[in-house]
Amino acid sequence: MEKVEQSYDKYKMNVAEKTREIKALENKVSTLENDLSLDKPLLEIREILWTNITQSLSDVWRSIQTIYEQVDLIRATQVETQKTRALFGQIPEQDNKLIHFLNTKTSEELEALDIKDRIGTILDIKRVLTMRTLMQNLDRRCQDMQVEIDSFIEKFIVLH
């Protein structure tokens, strides 16, 4: 009986040892399954992607702000050029005719028209011509800037 008890005790010890080994192996299998589930790598990849996106936005934020400021300036300039066009009406087209008219009249004829300073009047007319030219140049430049901004935005959207 003693032998049977010893044998039974050895069996129990072997079973306990095997149970511990099985539990250790089950824990190892569980750890490996978790590693294979890709949860951790996917989480790390998401973190890297969001970090890159945030950095990218941070890098271009000043450019985006500048673009919106330029768009606002273009709008303000367009409003002002429209006001200037309305103010001058057809005057710029008549300026050359007025200058020619003033240059072909004598001093007495100009005094009769209540024009005392031929040169001052011609300079005023030329200022209007200059303002028209500046307005047209400004308008063209605004259109060019708008095209550049639209192109930049399209490229930015494609890249990001």
Closest CA to 125 of 154, 100, 157: 100
Binned at pLDDT 50, 70 and 90, residue 114 comes out as: confident
On whether the CB atoms of residues 101 and 88 are closer than 8 A, the answer is no
Q: Quick one: pLDDT at residue 90?
A: 60
On whether the CB atoms of residues 116 and 83 are closer than 8 A, the answer is no
- Rounded distance between C-alpha atoms, residue 46 and residue 52, angstroms: 10
Q: What percent of the chain has pLDDT over 90?
A: 8
On whether the CB atoms of residues 126 and 54 are closer than 8 A, the answer is no
All residues at 6 or more sequence positions from 92 whose CB lies less than 8 Å from its CB, including other chains: 128, 129, 132
Closest CA to 74 of 154, 145, 134: 145
Q: Is the pLDDT of residue 2 over 70?
A: yes
Q: Which of 19-23, 53-57, 124-128 has the highest mean pLDDT?
A: 19-23
- Rounded distance between C-alpha atoms, residue 17 and residue 9, angstroms: 12
Q: Quick one: pLDDT at residue 15?
A: 82
Q: List pLDDT tens digits, range 46-99.
A: 999 999 888 888 888 888 888 888 888 888 888 888 887 777 666 656 777 878
